[in-house]
Structure 1
Amino acid sequence: MQAPTSADRQLLDKLRHHVEAIYHDTAIELETCELAVQLQRLMRLENTAAEPQQHVNHWSQRDAIVMTYGDTLLREGEAPLVTLKKFFDDYADEVVTGVHILPFYPWSSDDGFSVLDYSSVNESLGDWENIAAIAEDYRLMADLVINHCSGRSLWFENFLRGRSPGKDYFFTASPDDDLSAVVRPRTSDLLRKVETFEGAKYVWCTFSHDQVDLDFRNPEVLKQFVSIIRHYLDNGVRIFRLDAVAFLWKVPGTSSLNLEETHELVRLLRTLIEYAVPDALLITETNIPNRQNLSYFGNANEAHCVYNFSLPPLLVNALVTGDCSHLKMWMMSMPPAQNGTAYFNFIASHDGIGLRPAEGLLSDGELEALVETMRNFGGHVSYRALEDGQNKPYEINISLFDALQGTTSGADGWGQERFVCAHAIMLGLEGIPGIYIHSLLGTRNDYDRVENSGHYRAINRHQWDYDQLVAELDSQGSAHGKVFTRIKDLLQIRQRQAAFHPNATQFTLHLGDAIFGFWRQSFDRRQSVFVISNVSDRVLPLMLSDINLIGTDDWADLISGTQFHSREQVIDIQPYQTLWITNAAGNEGV
């Protein structure tokens, strides 16, 4: 047997430290050194060559990730995963570097987030070969649904029967426990009574009674997920989205949210993953207030990326009110991400516009006005339960295209411009952009899908007939085609700008409440880009001297191609127009 390397010893020391920190206060007896060795073997990390480098950015301005379900695009006689790859190859290959395929495993509810079997691909989508084919050409992001699994899974059936694997995999509590402080995003009962081989028990269900929370106090659960991660890496997954990870560790009498053991588990998974594949990434999905969300960066030793959850509600609010003051104040408060970490920016997703990340940023009255505006545009609202038994809006369910069809005064004729403006802002921000496929395609609210499924979130989960979609994209008069072309154009421009690197310098500009602006600068300081957006339905003047352009440089708008020759020039910004003003000398794209 080959003697352990220095990197092996370093890895084992790290793993032992993580394990001791996680299990220091549990009643489970275990030998932490032995568990560390088992985790190392499960990830096949014996004879490690070298310790992975820290503070390395595994991304650039060329990166953009499209988020989609595996069956969003359907074509008769073809596996949906094959159709999906065909779409990216034929229509988006030059602008998309990564694909997030939402849960592609067998499932029982919640459109995939109630997993029956983590090791399989849903047969209705395709197989592992189809997954690997996508991973060969695009950076593949997959969900690690780590907090819970299906109440109809083999693990849970075994839990009820006292068999392995599963016998001790699920978190139980007593109705007599103090659960008043538990934070969760649902109004259903937290505990579900089930009959087991040992009699009645109450299992913990953060999200639904078909999504039963796993008990990571049992190291066997941890080992199962380490094996799952290794399996996904072997099949080409390079980005892991830790779904609902903030709820992972539970302690009755506490909020059971963001507990220190949860953070340590994220640190443990990062250690294992980066030793296995140094450029593989962890992204935490924590739809919680902004400050708590940022805590998942740790000290650049937890998530490589965190979802920028406050961006969607604040940006939508700015565009429907014509007032960017809250968006601006929030951005000024955001710390720059350290090298080796980045924000994951998005403004639409398969869920909805989360409202918890806007708490403390928008007043209750402003949130109510936003909710009412979205209702007027055909949206629905999901609620969560408060400690006092009241319900509070948790999420707005609506397609982004419909969310931006008007202002608080009602629908108007500026919807498409407002929609493109939202993306032009997001694509300019510090961070890696994630674009929901239905935003890329300009998809509208799907009311039939809501009615058929009974779930509000289905409003933004339309399934396209692929041939019909292709006809729309190829038609010059189609709204879908126009949106698709304009967002693709923005992505192509973005790829060529060093100042749009996800970690390049960013400063907020102060241009009034109706003009949102920020400045980006490349690492070598050769290129600046001033992102200037009119978030109102009025034509607004802008004096270029207000954004401090260097007089000795020539400046141009990357989007329109307009050249600017004087710092004293006054320009009119059209409603919802965005300018990407750059100095030509430092711009690779001009």
Structure 2
Amino acid sequence: MSFDGATAPPIPVDPCWPAGVEEGLAALPPERAAVLRRRLQAHLPRLQDRLQRLYGRQPGFEAFLDRVLRQTLACAADREDALWQLDLAREQRPDWLHAGLLGYCSYVDKFAGTLAGVAQRVPYLQELGIRYLHLLPFLKAGTPPNDGGFAVASFDTVEPALGTMADLRALCRTLRGAGISLCSDFVLNHVSREHPWAQAALAGDPAYLDYFHWRPSAEAVAAQERHLGQVFPGTAPGNFTWVEARQAWVWTTFYPYQWDLNYANPAVFADIAEALLKLANQGVEAFRLDSTGYLWKREGSNCLNQPEIHLILQALRALCELAAPGVVLKAEAIMPTGELPPYFGLGPQPGPECQLAYHASLMAASWLALAEGDAGAVREVLRHTPDLPEGCLWLSYVRCHDDIGWNVLRPELSALGSEPVARLARASRHYAGRGTDPRPRGRAFQAADEHAVHGTNGMTLALAGLPQDGSDPGPALARMALLHALSFFVGGLPLIYMGEELGQDNVGEAELLARQGPDGRELHRPAFDEAAAAQRHDPDHLAGRCFAMLRRLQRERLAMLPQGSPVRLRLLPSEAPGLLALERDGVIGLFNFGATACAADLRTLAAGPLHTPGADGRMLAVDTRQPLTLPGHAALWLQPAA
């Protein structure tokens, strides 16, 4: 199909339900049919509208819509009773995500070897206070290299080395029984060239050729490349790959073995939607929708954040509301803060969309503030962070499996009147140990264009300057605690990246050499340190200090900060450049990104007496009549005294 990205205008929605709806409802037990009728009345008009805007002018639209609804009702019918009851409970409590959840992110193999191994680690997760577990890709992937599993070869099969679908169902039941929701990656933008759809296209099947984007010549490729950035210019330059068997170029935004899907083809949407709902029926409660910003291609554009993306995501959300309303959608849209509101349904086409999105700008700004000793960038990011719809949250974090992408901060730094490229380049050099401070031990990652700066790889403590010679880790631990204290305070769902709770360091050189592929992000993808985990209760061991710090932050978060309602942050004045002062529901958070102590005038920050948790957990009174001195790289939460 030749597609120029044009979208049909809205078409009036037929108030009559498609034939497949009544047939599907008739096959269900009366109790479920009654619930689904209610859901259809609430969500079907929006679903029809979004799909008609995308595909309504194409031949066979009615048959396509009928197919989508039939498969959705079939998934609802197949939903096991425990999941059905979970859906009903969450429909009654749309604010359930605001219940103080704490997240944990890991690769299956590096955390526990297999899905069954993850189930055995549930008590460990409970001890840490985890209520949301994000397992990075565990579906069957293409032959390595496969982008860490993000080149999916089957949506219906678990990677054999990690287990089976039966293991996945068992893990989900174990987690659910422990009050932990499982989040799975779901790659929307592309599939592996080994996926059956790509293999059928290679064989010349016309139906599956249209699942992908093709260009007939190098000239056609060059015409489009003029408008596109590059995700991996060092290891996978360009956005197209020559396919000898088809004598054509296929669109590959990421790596040559990852073929971008053509969402202008309604069959792609139908297949992807069915795959997602089937995984939800295994017990997956949340989906990290990978690479959402790239889904729609428009000739002559940079093919980022196109408006049709939000029609696709809102249609997926509507299907979840019909078949699995207990499921959460999380947008992996690593964009500047100002470009993120549409992923929550706050764009030109409003409506329920994703409930979660990464606050990448806040994460990057925190690291920038630590490097500069100045909290200005964090203030600017928070100043431009919008309030979210009911039931929606930011996901806050310090590190993840990806690099720190500095370029998301360009708008905020430009607004501050500084030259963003120079500042971000200095931060990149700083964390690679090439600045004035040699302690950080990260490494630079790839830049997207000649005007961009390199991202940064590395584990949290390595970036924070953890000494390798056995000397005092205290200063590095303080910097790590500061970053996590902010992540826990700002609201939303804070996420711990596997290994942070044990103070794990970068992957060693010998292991990096043994790992396949040139991806520099392997530096911060260590295996779970069993020996360190055994020391997690030892207050004199690095692992014990890190584990205790994160447990303390979660206890104080639940005790001091109101849960169950939308978060509203307020920036407070502070004279010291490195001091960030915030207020949340009467609780004051002070975060000193400077290396030296600074003073905070509590008389200007609070209206009455304050107290703060002591080392033993008891609340201590704070004298608000005189300035409070906050040490360098320290954080303090202050609660109004009863």
Calculate the TM-score normalised by the size of structure 1.
0.88
Correspondence 1:122 to 2:159: yes
> Match for residue 35 of structure 1?
64
- Kindly report which structure 2 residues correspond to 1:234-383, keeping only aligned pairs within 5 A, or say none: 234-299=281-346, 301-362=352-413, 363-376=420-433, 377-383=440-446
Correspondent of 1:111 among 145, 148, 151: 148
Structure 1 residue runs without a partner (length 5+): 522-527, 586-590
Normalized per residue, the structure richer in strand is: 1
The one-letter amino acid of 1:132's match is: R
Shift of 1:360: 2.1
> Match for residue 525 of structure 1?
none
Shift of 1:447: 3.6
Taking the aligned partners of 2:463 and 2:622, their CA distance within structure 1 comes to: 38
> Match for residue 555 of structure 1?
611
Correspondence 1:141 to 2:202: no
Which deviations, in whole Å up to 9, do the C-alpha atoms of 1:91-130 show, x marking residues without a partner?
5346110100000012231111111111111121122333
Taking the aligned partners of 2:75 and 2:519, their CA distance within structure 1 comes to: 47
- Kindly report which structure 2 residues correspond to 1:418-429, keeping only aligned pairs within 5 A, or say none: 418-429=479-490
Correspondent of 2:505 among 437, 444, 448: 444
- Kindly report which structure 2 residues correspond to 1:43-192, keeping only aligned pairs within 5 A, or say none: 43-44=72-73, 56-74=94-112, 80-90=114-124, 92-93=126-127, 95-108=129-142, 109-136=146-173, 137=175, 138-163=180-205, 166-174=208-216, 175-177=218-220, 178-179=223-224, 180-187=226-233, 188-192=237-241
Secondary structure of 2:66 counterpart: helix
Correspondent of 2:597 among 526, 539, 554: 539
Taking the aligned partners of 1:494 and 1:101, their CA distance within structure 2 comes to: 24
> Match for residue 588 of structure 1?
none
Shift of 1:55: 9.9
Shift of 1:47: 9.3
Taking the aligned partners of 1:561 and 1:536, their CA distance within structure 2 comes to: 28
- Kindly report which structure 2 residues correspond to 1:431-470, keeping only aligned pairs within 5 A, or say none: 431-448=492-509, 449-453=511-515, 454-466=518-530, 468-470=531-533
> Match for residue 524 of structure 1?
none
Taking the aligned partners of 1:496 and 1:68, their CA distance within structure 2 comes to: 27
> Match for residue 479 of structure 1?
542
Which deviations, in whole Å up to 9, do the C-alpha atoms of 1:412-470 show, x marking residues without a partner?
9511111011101110002111221122222211143433333200001001253x243
Shift of 1:24: 5.3
The one-letter amino acid of 1:258's match is: N
Shift of 1:380: 2.1
Shift of 1:264: 0.6
Taking the aligned partners of 1:132 and 1:156, their CA distance within structure 2 comes to: 28
Shift of 1:358: 1.3
The one-letter amino acid of 2:232's match is: R
Secondary structure of 1:169 counterpart: coil
- Aligned residue pairs total 561
Worse-matched range after superposition: 129-138 or 556-565: 556-565
> Match for residue 459 of structure 2?
399
Which deviations, in whole Å up to 9, do the C-alpha atoms of 1:470-511 show, x marking residues without a partner?
333244432122111111121122123343557232111121
Correspondence 1:508 to 2:582: no
Taking the aligned partners of 1:47 and 1:70, their CA distance within structure 2 comes to: 28
Which deviations, in whole Å up to 9, do the C-alpha atoms of 1:54-101 show, x marking residues without a partner?
993231242011111111234xxxx53233333331353461101000
Shift of 1:334: 1.1
Cα RMSD (Å) of the superposition?
Answer: 2.8
Taking the aligned partners of 1:333 and 1:248, their CA distance within structure 2 comes to: 26
> Is the CA contact 1:431–1:501 (under 8 Å) kept in the aligned structure 2?
no
Shift of 1:582: 0.8
Shift of 1:140: 0.7
Query: Identity rate of aligned residues, in percent?
Result: 21
> Is the CA contact 1:446–1:458 (under 8 Å) kept in the aligned structure 2?
yes
Shift of 1:365: 1.2
Shift of 1:17: 1.1
Secondary structure of 2:211 counterpart: coil
> Is the CA contact 2:466–2:473 (under 8 Å) kept in the aligned structure 1?
yes
Q: 1:218 to 1:55 in 2, by over 3 A?
A: farther
Calculate the TM-score normalised by the size of structure 2.
0.81
> Match for residue 20 of structure 2?
none
The one-letter amino acid of 2:192's match is: S
Which deviations, in whole Å up to 9, do the C-alpha atoms of 1:268-289 show, x marking residues without a partner?
0011112222231111001122
The one-letter amino acid of 1:556's match is: T
Correspondent of 2:242 among 184, 187, 193: 193
Correspondent of 1:575 among 619, 627, 632: 632
Taking the aligned partners of 1:155 and 1:374, their CA distance within structure 2 comes to: 42
